[in-house]
Structure 1
Amino acid sequence: MEITLDKHSANQASIKIKLIEADYQPKVDAKLKDYAKKAVIRGFRPGKAPISMVKNMYGISLLVDEINAILGESLNTYLKEQTFKILGEPLPVEKGDDSIDWKTQKEFEFEYKIGFVDTIGLTLDNSIKGTKYTILVDDKLVNETLDNLKSQYGENSNPETSEVGDFIYGDLASKEGEFTKTLSLDTSKISKKLAGKFTGIAKEAVVEFDSKEVKKEEWSTAFGLSEDEISNVAGALTFTVQNINRTTDATLDQDFFDKIFGPDQVKSEEEFINKVKETLQGSYTRESKVFTEEELKKVLVEKASIALPDDFLKEWLLRANEGKVSEADVENEYPIYAKQLTWSLISNQIAKDNGVQAEHEDVIEKTKEMIREQFASSGLGAQLEASMDVFVDNYLKGNDGQNYMNMLTSVQNDKVLALVQEKIDLEEKKISIDEFKELLEK
């Protein structure tokens, strides 16, 4: 047997495997003898058919099976001995159907395409700069949240005459064009001047105004129109009122507190506000962590500078999912796949270099945390904890065990990113909610 590697580029190569008769024939002959002992062929007693007849009947299929087995084992062994990291799976170079004469041919040559990356070199030290973000919950966000909660749990009514802040349900129509849509207008989100036209009106009233009186963002925030609909709204408009909807804010009393946090969890307005702030801060602390980690991944990906064999991987993805995806699907989804693959390579290398390992106990604890978060607002509390082991076991066994592997990978990533933050030059930065939103938009 002869195996040769031909590198076409920094991350793609072909492997050729040449087989001679001595590589496969002894095993084929042994299997033929074994078949002959068991074969039941008409006209002969079991196991007494001539070996030549057994060979004519089963020889080619046994030859093909044996050569495929040799190829698979030899290729895997050869690749394990290499210093580079194989990506995807080797792809057989396809030849014509008549390229092999299985009856007479004694020597065979097979070729495979491979994609790979060389050893990833990434030293975690102060030369790598990163930022750890902490999102601070301010009074503005707390007040906005309180207002939303009071509105959400408030009392709804349909008054005869409208006031500022009401939702006006009706038909918006263009006077000269064909545009028309039934919608609910949030009068708290339009200008005071325009809101004045919708104040003090009753059902069946017709409000006339011009599209120029509406700010661009108000078409979506107040009128709820899509981009396509906004482009069709122009000139003189009418709004015919069908109904008026008003929400009276809920009162900050014990009944309200219980609805939000459960019975007797808070017993005063001060406790309620503090609990809201605490809940918000917990939520944004998790968001801070996720955002920090995603930004650190970008830094490490750039630092590692890994060149993926893009053309090979696209071909491999198409073949591996034959019939399920098109070339266009692969092309569209590839950037996301490449990003995930690059980070996986870096994470695995850091884990290997630093002895980071995800343990079974870590997987169990992380799964428990995930389940607690999912049921945080369910009010199950003690019931959930009493049945936690069952929830965890069912989840980790789900999806044919893939949930367990995904959680194992997630635990390793957590440990790797924690190590990264210990090793690199990490600047801690406190930001407001508005600053956080600006960062997300970049």
Structure 2
Amino acid sequence: MNITKKDIDKLNAVITVEISKDDYAGKVEKVLSDYRKNANIPGFRKGHVPMGMVKKQYGKAVLVEEVNKLLQDALHKFLTEEKLDVLGNPLPKNEADINWDADDYSFEFELGLAPDFNVDVKGNEVLQYKIVADEEMLNNQVKTIRKQYGKLISKNEVEKGDEITGTFTSSEKEIEKKTTLSTEDIAGKSQLESLMGAKVGDMVSLNTKGMFADDHDNQKYFGVAHDDAHGLDIAVSFKIEEVNKREMAELNQELFDKLFGEGVVTSEEELKKKIKEDAEGQFAQQSDQKLLNDVVDSLIENTKFDLPDAFLQRWIAVSGEKKLSEEDAKAEYERSEKGLRYQLIEGKLRAENNLQVTFDELKEYSKNMIKAQMAQFGQNNPTDEELESIAARILSNKEEVQRLSEQLNTNKLLNYFKENAKLKTKEVTYDKFVKEAYA
């Protein structure tokens, strides 16, 4: 057997595998001999079928199978030993021209080679958001807590700040939705005026247009579909069934203990500090995800290299369950090219900076996750034996291993970017972050 590689250019090559009769003859003879021993052919005792008959019936199929086995093993070994970084899989080039009646065979395969390139994470500045909980947000959170733990006082007439329970109806959109809303939820001036002074049992006519600041609230309060919620402009009737005034809870030690446990918070100042810590901890996750997305986009845009486009389009055309037309394969390649580029960039970063996840890291990560979950249920001091036992059970599940590996891989990459990328930090409130990041 002889294998050679001919470079077409830096991204394309052809491998030729030459297989002679000496390479496969012994294997074919052995398989046919086994067939002969076990063949059940009418007129012959088992094991006494003439070899000529066996070869005539099975010879060509066995030959093709054994040669293909040799071929695949040789290809795999060659690619591994030569350390060729290929994209996709080798594509047969002369498959239709093989003469299986000959003794010797020559197979050609096209290769798409991964490009050689450098990744510079410091080359382009990326904005990193630091989301802070400002005083307005903290005051609103305190107000929300006081409302949530306050008392409801039943009333008969609607006044500003009250909570109203009732049913919206409309024949036009087939609405019949019972809901509870506060007058503070209503942004429309005319709708608010129509409700002021209304009494339990009254039927109030309202228009949905501009009733709420966010059209998505139309889903919540009217029960309409998402597509109908945007720009909803219809007349609805609102039957008032209950009116309540919410008396806000006092900020005292009883409330603090109920919220955070005995003695953890002892003043409004400490309450705001705790709210700020918790909120900014959650904000950090969103900021990190935004940073990761932006660094990835920057790397894809600014890391320049060519790909074996024509080869990859041919490979896409034949690699799926259903063969694609040239036009469909080209379209599919254009859709997947950005992802392929990032796979190559990420692979290079991981290989050059030792960012691969080891089993020991995965085990430690799972133990820390278990410890955090147990703490939520008041189990703050699990033994190492307990953690080891639970971690072993989790890591015996392939799906869990994959999920945790993806999380840890993402964390390692994110930390690498934070330490090495050229970042510009911008401090913003959460509302401003949402407007800027997801505009």
Q: When the two structures are superposed, what TM-score results if normalisation uses the length of structure 2? A: 0.75
What letter corresponds to residue 394 of structure 2 in structure 1?
A: Y
CA offsets 1:389-427 (integer angstroms, 9 cap, x no match): 33322322213xx54355445545544443444444333
Between 1:218-227 and 1:274-283, the stretch displaced more is 218-227
Does 1:59 pair with 2:59?
A: yes
- Listed one character per residue, the Cα deviations across residues 287-314 of structure 1 (whole Å, up to 9, x for unaligned) are 3333323222222222223556678768
- Give the number of equivalent residue pairs: 429
- The answer to whether the Cα contact below 8 Å between 1:154 and 1:248 also exists between their aligned partners in 2 is yes
Give the match for residue 87 of structure 1.
Answer: 87
SS in structure 2 at match of 1:127: coil
Partner SS state of residue 217, structure 1 = coil
Contact 2:5 2:13 in 1 (8 A): no
CA contact (8 A) 1:150 1:250 kept: yes
Change (3 A) 1:262 1:227: same
CA displacement 1:62-92 (0-9 Å, x = unmatched): 3233122122122223434667632344456
* Equivalent position of 1:72 in the other structure: 72
Task: Give, in angstroms, the shift of residue 142 of structure 1.
Answer: 2.0
Query: Does 2:294 match 1:299?
Result: no
Distance 1:41 1:142, change over 3 A: same
1:197 aligned partner? 194
Q: Matches of residues 146-157 of structure 1 in structure 2 within 5 Å? A: 146-155=142-151
State whether residues 168 and 236 of structure 2, in contact with CA within 8 Å, keep that contact through their aligned partners in structure 1. Answer: no
Return the alpha-carbon distance in structure 2 between the equivalents of residues 223 and 311 of structure 1.
54
Aligned partners of 2:166 and 2:238 also within 8 Å: no
Q: Distance in 2 between matches of 1:219 and 1:48?
A: 81
Percent identical pairs in the alignment equals 26
Residues 168 and 76 of structure 1: is their aligned pair in 2 closer, same or farther, counting only changes over 3 Å? same
Match of 1:364 in 2: 363
2:14 and 2:246 mapped to 1: Cα distance? 70
Aligned equivalent of 1:430: 427
Distance change >3 Å, CA 387–CA 332, structure 1 → 2: farther
Secondary structure of the residue aligned to 2:170 is strand
- Give the alignment of 1:394-433 within 5 angstroms: 394-399=393-398, 402-405=399-402, 407-408=404-405, 410-433=407-430
The 2-side partners of 1:405 and 1:23 are apart by 41
Moved more, 12-21 or 362-371: 12-21
Distance 2:135 2:384 in 1: 34
Is residue 134 of structure 1 aligned with residue 133 of structure 2?
no
Note the C-alpha offset of 1:349. 0.8
CA distance in 2, matches of 1:334, 1:371: 41
Give the residue type in structure 2 aligned to 1:301: I
d(CA) in 1 for partners of 2:134, 2:53 = 87
Quick one: distance in 2 between partners of 1:75 and 1:411?
A: 34
Aligned ranges for residues 167-246 of structure 1 at < 5 Å?
Answer: 167-173=164-170, 177=172, 180-184=175-179, 185-191=181-187, 192-211=189-208, 214=211, 217=214, 220=217, 223-224=221-222, 225-230=224-229, 233-234=232-233, 236-244=235-243
Question: Which residue in 2 is equivalent to 1:326?
Answer: none
Shift of 1:441: 1.1
**Using the alignment, how far apart are the partners of 2:131 and 2:209 within structure 1?**
38
- Give secondary structure in 2 for the equivalent of 1:119: coil
Give the residue type in structure 2 aligned to 1:428. Answer: T
For the 8 Å contact 2:371–2:382, the answer to whether it is kept is no
Matched residue, 1:389: 388
Shift of 1:110: 5.5
